[in-house]
Amino acid sequence: MSEIISNTNEIDPIGMQYTAEKKDNVTTQSIASNESEECEKQGHWSELPSLPLEKIYSFLRREDQVNMSLVCRKWSEGYGLPSVWKTFIFDLTESQLSMDTCPIMKFVLKYGSMFRHVKVYHEFTRINIWCRHFIEFLQILTKNSQLISIELESLPRCLRQIDNPTYDNICTVIANFLGSQHHLKRVKFYGCYFRIKEGVEILRKLFQHNRKSLTHLVLRGFLSYDHMGEGQNSNFAQNLPTLADLPSLTTLETDYTLIFENMVAGQCTALERVKNCQTLALSKIILEYEDRMIKMEDFRGLTSTDWQILKRLSPNLQVELIIVTDSPSRREVEFFIVPNMPITLLEYRYEAFEMRMEFDDLFRHLLACKINNQLVSLFLWSWKPDQDLVSHFIPFLTACKKLRDLEISISYPTTFIDLMEYWLHNRPEYLENVFISILDIEDDEHYTTFKNLTFDYVSRLKLIGLKVQVEFDYQVME
């Protein structure tokens, strides 16, 4: 069965309620009465084989599937085909939460064994009622489903506002559900913010029962970090299995957390003296750090040796590193970017009025770590204009032999025209796409002059095969 998730098969909660009412009210006799002899003579649509009928259902929205199921008996039977129920979205509406019983549950009970891809969303309304239905939903799936993928999104307010017994119950139910699955390939947690003790237990159950099947794991906003209990948090994280316990995992998307740090450092410590070890399938780590969420003082940091060992385990590993900070500093860069990191994408954006790091500090450190040898995509956002970007940037770009995509957001005035002039006479070998965003232009004359000059350079660069796009943030003064 195909693992591609089609939006046409997703469950529309309103459509679900509509389905429940409509299908319950239409009897087998009324369906049969719609099967007119004229329709039979014109094409025998009611005798479509299961395969094309299943294909037609796969292209329809949930409400259209309902209407189609009411045409004739054969099509009604088609509504129960596995492809119709392959993807299920648990996203309760306000009207459904106001009912004594949730109409969706009858479909979960009836068709849950056919679910392969499940998505769970929470819209921050009627939290206690939603939690009750969510617990029931997972308990049903625990008994009769074998999923390929599960996504849990936007649960933070729900988990923060409920009482401790309900929170503990939800975490237990999630862990038990994951422990009941044995074929999960893709698991996504986004904005759930579990406490570290419960988060570790959830991942432990997931890894224990799906270690051979899991290929893609997303842990974005997975933990709610307690700054008052660093020692205890670290003890919990050390109980987590390492990446070596996930031999089929190819992609890990995660925030920089104690869990990630221990998954990498824990295995590296154990394998540091082992010459022959099993090669892992891991080929991509998408790693994000945002200093507003967690401070780097809460971590010990991954060393160059850690990454060297991880590369030995995963020879094809590529790292996409995203740093979002409101206080960019050399110390921060040196903490997260170390030698032996196979960084192919670096996104560094800061959101502050003051700059605490010079351009040459950043590029000098990247060169020292030899990041330039693997770098394919570079994104620098919100850089200030009080420094000579080009004089520091050109030596770095020249050393980046594989750089293909470049995006820079910089405030006006900027020396970027000098960089485009340099490219006209020194075309970068691999660079294909350049996107430049010029911010905070407030003067009409400067805007017009700069825009015309930029357009001229963009046209000339296009002739030599370099695609450059420039966007202006022009602030109209009253």
Under 8 Å between Cβ of 404 and 374: no
368 pLDDT more than 80: yes
Give the predicted TM-score (pTM) of the model: 0.83
Q: Is the pLDDT of residue 157 over 50?
A: yes
Q: Is residue 464 part of a domain?
A: yes
Select from 58, 84, 110 the last residue of a domain. 84
The residue among 332 and 138 whose pLDDT is bigger is 138
For residue 70, pLDDT beyond 90: no
Amino acid 11: pLDDT: 46
pLDDT of residue 169: 92
For position 59, which CATH number holds? Answer: 1.20.1280
Q: Say what the pLDDT of residue 152 is.
A: 94
Asked if the model's pLDDT at residue 14 lies above 60, the reply is: no
**Alpha helices in 272-388, H assignment, sequence order:** 304-313, 330-336, 359-368
Segment 255-269 mean pLDDT: 81
Average of pLDDT values for 53-81?
A: 75
- Number of structural domains found in the chain: 2
The pLDDT > 70 percentage for the chain reads 77
pLDDT of residue 322: 96
Confidence of residue 124 (pLDDT cuts 50, 70, 90): low
Is residue 435 over pLDDT 80? Answer: yes
Least confident of 67-71, 110-114, 307-311: 67-71
For residue 1, what pLDDT band results from cuts at 50, 70 and 90?
very low
N-terminal to C-terminal alpha carbon distance within the chain: 61
Q: Which of 434, 435, 386 shows the shortest CA–CA distance to 412?
A: 386
Mean pLDDT of 395-401: 91
Answer yes or no: is 59 within a domain: yes
Structural domain span for residue 366 = 317-477
How much of the chain exceeds pLDDT 90, in percent?
35
Q: What is the mean pLDDT of residues 400-427?
A: 88
Pick from 84, 111, 146: which residue ends a domain? 84
User: What's the mean pLDDT in 422-428?
Assistant: 90
Per DSSP (E only), the strands in 332-432 are 343-350, 377-383, 405-411
Distance CA 343, CA 320 (A): 6
**Is 338 inside any structural domain?**
yes
Please tell me the predicted confidence (pLDDT) of residue 232.
Answer: 52
* Cβ atoms 138, 173 nearer than 8 A: yes
> Is pLDDT of 101 > 80?
no
**27, pLDDT greater than 60:** no
Give the pLDDT score at 161. Answer: 62
Model pLDDT, residue 8: 44
* pLDDT given for residue 115 in this prediction: 94
CB contact at 8 A, 27 and 77: no
Q: What is the pLDDT of residue 273?
A: 47
In a domain, 413, yes or no: yes
Q: Which segment of 49-58, 202-211, 318-327, 400-409 scores lowest on mean pLDDT?
A: 49-58
Q: Is residue 90 part of a domain?
A: no
Mean pLDDT of the chain: 80
Say which range, 65-69, 87-91, 344-348, has the weakest mean pLDDT. Answer: 65-69
The answer as to whether 456 is a domain residue is yes
For residues 376, 288, 353, 439, the Cα torsion angle rounded to the nearest 10 degrees is: 40
Average pLDDT over residues 19-32: 45
For residue 12, is pLDDT > 60? no
Q: Is residue 441 part of a domain?
A: yes
pLDDT tens digit sequence for 217-259: 999 989 886 654 555 555 666 677 778 888 999 999 999 988 8
Backbone angles phi, psi at 409, to 5 degrees: -115, 120
Segment 212-226, tens digit of pLDDT:
999 999 999 898 866
Position 8 in a domain: no
Task: Calculate mean pLDDT across residues 427-431.
Answer: 89
**Domain boundary at 30, 64, 84, which?**
84
Q: Higher model confidence: residue 290 or residue 337?
A: 337
Buried-state track 55-88, b at ≥16 Cβ within 10 A, e below 16: eebbeeebeebbebbebbebbbebbebebbbbbb
Residue 125 confidence (pLDDT):
67
Q: What is the pLDDT of residue 325?
A: 85
Q: Do you find a cis peptide bond into 413, omega within 30 degrees of 0?
A: yes
295-324 pLDDT, tens digit each: 777 788 899 999 998 998 899 999 999 998
